[in-house]
Amino acid sequence: MSLESLIVGVLGAGQMGRGITVSCLLAGYKIFLYDKQTELLKISLGKIETSLKKLHERQSISKEQMESALANLAFYPNLDQMQTANIFIEAIPEDYSIKGQLFRELSGMLTSEKILASNTSSLSITKLAKNVVYPENFVGLHFMNPAEIMPLVEIIPGAQTNESTLKKIELFCKSIGKTTVLSKDTPGFIVNRLLIPMINEAIYVLYQEIATAADIDKAMKLGASFPQGPLALADMIGLDTCLAILQIMTKEYNNLKYTPCPLLEKYVIEGKLGRKTNEGFYKY
């Protein structure tokens, strides 16, 4: 797999898929963005254009870079249109069955030379690999949110991931300006194993009426040098995503310390998911 001729197929046009797409476009790669929801593809085009325009306005990229990035982007509502991609990065919801179904559908266009990566934040790469035709070429990539800005990517090998795949994916991540860390295949990996329980505890502090959301966040920003408070961060990540990670960790570790706060469950049921729905612990 030559980085110079690489075509990246991003599977999923949601928040993370868009961020990964922008990161790859800024590195000069040609991108195929797939989602079976054609309306979501249209929305994504507008949001990707907005992201690139903002970067241009901030003088982070030139007008020529912005135009080149948009010229390198193609949208596809059918998987069979992705045949010529060399590397696939999946960024769909955190669910074994949904991801597994997509991987089985993708199997016909994978070869021993192509890499498939899952942008999962908590699911087992080894378990997901059971749905993959070349498990040695399958790897976990956990981009932070927002993916186009955050510099870190966690690389997670499954039980069958080979060294060649790890080396190639590390080079790819570096080529799009990311710093990588290697994690064993355990629920939550490094960042979410530490971060999500802390967010959950902050939600408990709010739930038990110890302090307001604003004061909780202010305390952690000014008292612990956090750049952003844990509740504002939860809104940015998505409360549904936080809940899903906690549920997975509770089950996989068989440990009640990861039990989601009832207030988090309540907000998700009510559709208050954070920034993506314009309301979570704060209104946007």
**Strand, coil or helix: 16:** helix
Q: What whole-number distance in Å separates Cα of residue 265 and Cα of residue 7?
A: 39
Handedness of CA 81, 24, 176, 19 (dihedral sign): negative
**Catalytic (active site) residue 142:** yes
Q: Which entry of 142, 148, 183, 200 is annotated as an active-site residue?
A: 142
- Contact call for residues 128 and 118 (beta carbons, < 8 A): yes
**Catalytic (active site) residue 225:** no
- Contact call for residues 77 and 36 (beta carbons, < 8 A): yes
Q: Which entry of 121, 122, 131, 137 is annotated as an active-site residue?
A: 121
How many residues in the chain? 284
What is the arrangement of strands in the sheet containing 179-182, beginning at the earlier edge strand?
A: 73-76, 30-34, 7-11, 87-90, 115-118, 138-143, 152-157, 179-182
**Catalytic (active site) residue 56:** no
Q: What whole-number distance in Å separates Cα of residue 97 and Cα of residue 89?
A: 17
Q: What whole-number distance in Å separates Cα of residue 7 and Cα of residue 27?
A: 12
Neighbouring C-beta atoms of residue 15, cutoff 10 Å: 20
**Strand, coil or helix: 89:** strand
Q: Which entry of 122, 183, 192, 200 is annotated as an active-site residue?
A: 192
**Strand, coil or helix: 78:** coil
**DSSP assignment letter at 61:** S
Q: What whole-number distance in Å separates Cα of residue 181 and Cα of residue 7?
A: 24
Q: Which entry of 90, 94, 148, 154 is annotated as an active-site residue?
A: 154
- The set of catalytic residues is 121, 142, 154, 192
